[in-house]
Amino acid sequence: MVGIDDVARRAGVSTATVSRALSGRGHVASATRERVEEAAAELGYVVSASASSLATGRMRNIGVVVPFLNRWFYTSVLEGAQRRLMQYGYDLTLYNLSGSSNERSTVFEQFLLRQRVDAVIAVSLELSAEEVDSLHALGKPLVGVGGPIRGVPTVSIDDVGVTRLATEHLLSLGHTVIGHIGGDVDAEMSFHMPTNRRLGWEDALRDAGVEPRPELYFPAVFTMESGYVAAKQMLGDPRLRPTAVVVASDEMAIGVILAARDMGLDVPRDLSVVGIDDHELAPFFGLTTVAQFPEQQGERAVELLMRELEQTREAEPANLQLPFELVVRSSTARPRPEREPRG
């Protein structure tokens, strides 16, 4: 295994110079630097991560904690974070909490605290005060993505804004009886998000002079099937007869479209549906949606972290609100002139 002194010998300098030349820290004459780089390349030298870490106290590795893996949002965030981290020369070590419930404490106690990561990104997780504290006690920066964490910088979207935008789109088309299928507050790991999205729907309606009807809200759990079931209930109730529905995620929205189809309703003629996400399947189903950009969220989270890590100054816990935008496809249209939504 070729080490730093092999390189030093070959380049005719000291190991200190090799270290400085390769890391870019400290002054090295450019001629010397080239000679060192050449020697390193010829020998195929790469620094030992552990030795370097031991000496510097930095692992160049950050931990990303996600509640699930099998969901578009998380993998997208992961993808963005990974890409950006690689550019910074950092590794990403993955912690997935979806296993047994005690996996969570194992992750925290055994792994995150084990000095294997310089910082952690928590995706859509509501961390307890102790969890945050234990990380901070170790001097490990922490940023959240998705759910807000008290006292921790977070990148996210404006959750009330997205459903507000979706609802406004529907209102502008002339809809007034607009349902909402959203996350079940009890069932999710992050309870703010579903609540906020519901709020956006209500706010937009009120601003338009329409009083939101509680019976037009149906809870679901962010899966296609759950959206399907909720839609069947909503559309099957003759007292409701919504002409449009805003759905808190694209996966659920697709379930809604399928449900409508199965009930003989035409989308968008009989029912307009708009989702949130711009999931990869949205174009295929012609789903109008409010796009959020999870990859970008991952990237920004990394940037926040890097700023805290590379500079010495404490980062102000600035919560970054990322942009979102309406993508109109074929699942929304003006309501039918007749007030009867059924075929």
Binding site for DNA (CB under 7 A): 1, 3-5, 12-20, 22-23, 25-32, 45, 47-48, 51-52, 54-57
Residues contacting 145, CB < 8 A, separation 6+ = 77, 121, 122, 123, 124, 154, 155, 156, 297, 298, 301
Q: Nearer to DNA by C-beta: 45 or 222? A: 45
Separation between Cα atoms, residue 95 and residue 135, nearest integer Å:
15
Give the residue, chosen from 6, 32, 88, 111, that forms a contact with its own copies under the rule CB under 8 A: 111
98 is a site residue for its own copies (CB under 8 A): yes
Candidates 20-28, 123-131, 224-232, 270-278; binding stretch for its own copies (CB under 8 A): 224-232
Cβ 254 to DNA shortest distance, Å: 50
Is 136 one of the binding residues for its own copies (CB under 8 A)? no
Bridge partners, residue 95, by sequence: 65
Given 4, 13, 21, 107, the residue binding its own copies (CB under 8 A): 107
Cβ neighbours of residue 43 closer than 8 Å, sequence gap 6 or more = 2, 6, 7, 10
Residue closest to 321 by CA, chosen among 145, 150, 151: 145
* Separation CA 199–CA 75 (nearest Å): 27
**Using the rule CB under 8 A, is 94 a contact of its own copies?**
yes
Amino acid at 41: A
DSSP state of 179: E
Q: Is 99 in the site for its own copies (CB under 8 A)?
A: yes
Binding mask 260-279 for its own copies (x = CB under 8 A): -x------------------
Residue 13 binds which entry of DNA, its own copies, none, CB below 5-8 Å type-dependent: DNA
CA separation for the pair 252, 166 (Å, rounded): 15
Residue 89 burial (C-beta neighbours within 10 Å; 0-12, 13-18, 19+): exposed
Chain residues in the site for its own copies (CB under 8 A): 46-51, 53-54, 59, 61, 69-70, 72, 75-76, 78-79, 82-83, 86, 89, 91-96, 98-99, 103, 106-107, 110-111, 113-116, 224-225, 228, 255, 261, 280-281, 283-284
